Amino acid sequence: MKAALENYHARMQRVLDHIDRHLDRDLDLEAISGVAAFSKYHFHRQFMATFGLSVHRYIQLARMKRASYRLAYRDAQSVTDIAMDAGYDAPDAFARAFRQRFGQSPSSFRKSPDWEPWLAAFGPLDNARSKLMQKIFTPNDVTIRDVSPTPVAIMEHRGDPATIGATIQRFIAWRKAAGLSPKTSPTFNVFHSDPRTTPPVEYRMDLCVGTDRLVEAKGEKIETGMIPGGRCAVLRVVGNTDNLEPAALYLYRDWLPASGEEARDFPIYCQRLAFFPEVPEHEAVAELFLPLK
């Protein structure tokens, strides 16, 4: 029975991956059901029963999520191109749908996103995805690595984790102005707080870019610092890298007590290796580092 369930989930995961990879194309029900070799007569009900969303609604939300990321974090594409990629024939139809969902026009969202309605709108999508993408970690997923010290430029996020999007937006704009592309300068997040136990107003996370050159602040509050070298337990996360809490929980609750290791005096941090929306969401990659003595 367990093997049958795992096979069923693997087939459904193939469907989600196919949707992720083909958001720019026509995703008709027959083609999608064929990916997992399910009958088209039953697939819609199976999808709804598994994820709590219809196939059409899931695709709509996935397209809107990618569109909103491109609007907020990538300025190379025009609103018209983003609308077309989201499956709309005309920018005004996209603008109406976008405003209905987020309470802002696409151009207003691009300038100054209101993140609370955004987070609420994607709750159903994130819940659907987490049903299959919540990986169960094992000790084999953790490697111990000797890392070199990395000089970094730091932008601090202080305050409610729900508003991290605004800090990310400023961080991306600043590093672009400073000529620190993610392709050549590594991206790190240092987690000074646990969002489950820290009052939102006191939450702190550092957004860092690896660089050993003197960088200009360009009107932002930028500090220089160092991610120290040493031994680290490293856990690679593929898929939903927006939420690294399950991976951090595994390291602290399961791996660390059983390993006989002790944590070093530096916060847990991650390096982001492949970013959504440059890659489909299920191909986003981050590595979580737990510093060890």
**CATH code assigned at 16:** 1.10.10.60
Rounded (5°) CA angle 138-291-180: 105
User: Among residues of the chain, what percentage have pLDDT more than 70?
Assistant: 99
Is the separation of the CB atoms in 190 and 206 below 8 Å?
yes
| One-letter identity of residue 137 | F
Residues 198 and 165 reside in one and the same domain: yes
Residue 116: name the closest of 166, 59, 66 by CA.
166
Residues 99 and 147 reside in one and the same domain: no
DSSP, residue by residue, the chain? -HHHHHHHHHHHHHHHHHHHHTTTS---HHHHHHHTT--HHHHHHHHHHHHSS-HHHHHHHHHHHHHHHHHHH--SS-HHHHHHHTT-SSHHHHHHHHHHHHSS-HHHHHHS--HHHHHHHTHHHHHHHHHHH-PPP-GGGEEEEEE--EEEEEEEEES-GGGHHHHHHHHHHHHHHTT--TTTS-EEEEE-S-TTTS-GGG-EEEEEEE--S----TTS--EEEEE--EEEEEEEEES-TT--HHHHHHIIIIIHHHHT--B-SS--EEEEEE-TTTS-GGG-EEEEEEEB-
Of residues 256 and 36, more confidence is placed in 256
In this prediction, residue 133 has a pLDDT band, given cuts at 50, 70 and 90, of low
Q: What is the pLDDT of residues 56-93, one digit of tens each?
A: 999 999 999 999 999 999 888 899 999 999 989 889 99
Distance CA 221, CA 243 (A): 26
Residue 243: name the closest of 179, 175, 191, 183 by CA.
191
- What integer pLDDT is reported at residue 104 of this predicted model? 94
Can you tell me the mean pLDDT for 186-198? Answer: 93
Q: Which of 109, 130, 151 delimits the end of a domain?
A: 130
Residues 189 and 239 reside in one and the same domain: yes
State yes or no: pLDDT of 215 exceeds 90.
no
In this prediction, residue 30 has a pLDDT band, given cuts at 50, 70 and 90, of confident
Residues 143 and 286 reside in one and the same domain: yes
State yes or no: pLDDT of 136 exceeds 90.
no
State yes or no: pLDDT of 134 exceeds 70.
no
Residues 163 and 286 reside in one and the same domain: yes
Distance CA 217, CA 231 (A): 32
Q: What is the pLDDT of residues 103-131, one digit of tens each?
A: 999 999 999 999 889 988 998 998 888 87
Is the separation of the CB atoms in 148 and 186 below 8 Å?
no
Can you tell me the mean pLDDT for 220-241? Answer: 94
Residues 106 and 161 reside in one and the same domain: no
Question: Which segment of 36-45, 144-153, 164-173, 201-210 scores lowest on mean pLDDT?
Answer: 36-45
Residues 120 and 218 reside in one and the same domain: no
Residues 126 and 152 reside in one and the same domain: no
Cα dist from 103 to 45, 69, 118, whole Å: 31, 16, 9
Share the mean pLDDT of the chain: 92
Q: Which of 82, 103, 130 delimits the end of a domain?
A: 130
Distance CA 239, CA 11 (A): 16
Can you tell me the mean pLDDT for 238-260? Answer: 92
Distance CA 59, CA 32 (A): 11
Number of domains in the chain: 2
Residues 286 and 143 reside in one and the same domain: yes
User: Among residues of the chain, what percentage have pLDDT more than 90?
Assistant: 68
Residues 101 and 150 reside in one and the same domain: no
- What integer pLDDT is reported at residue 243 of this predicted model? 86
Q: Which domain holds residue 19?
A: 2-130
Can you tell me the mean pLDDT for 154-172? Answer: 93
Residues 202 and 283 reside in one and the same domain: yes
Residue 275: name the closest of 189, 193, 192, 191 by CA.
189
Pairing of strands 187-191, 204-210: antiparallel
Residue 202: name the closest of 161, 246, 154 by CA.
161
Q: What is the pLDDT of residues 174-183, one digit of tens each?
A: 999 999 999 9
Residues 116 and 226 reside in one and the same domain: no
CATH (domain of 230): 3.20.80.10
Q: Which of 96, 130, 164 delimits the end of a domain?
A: 130
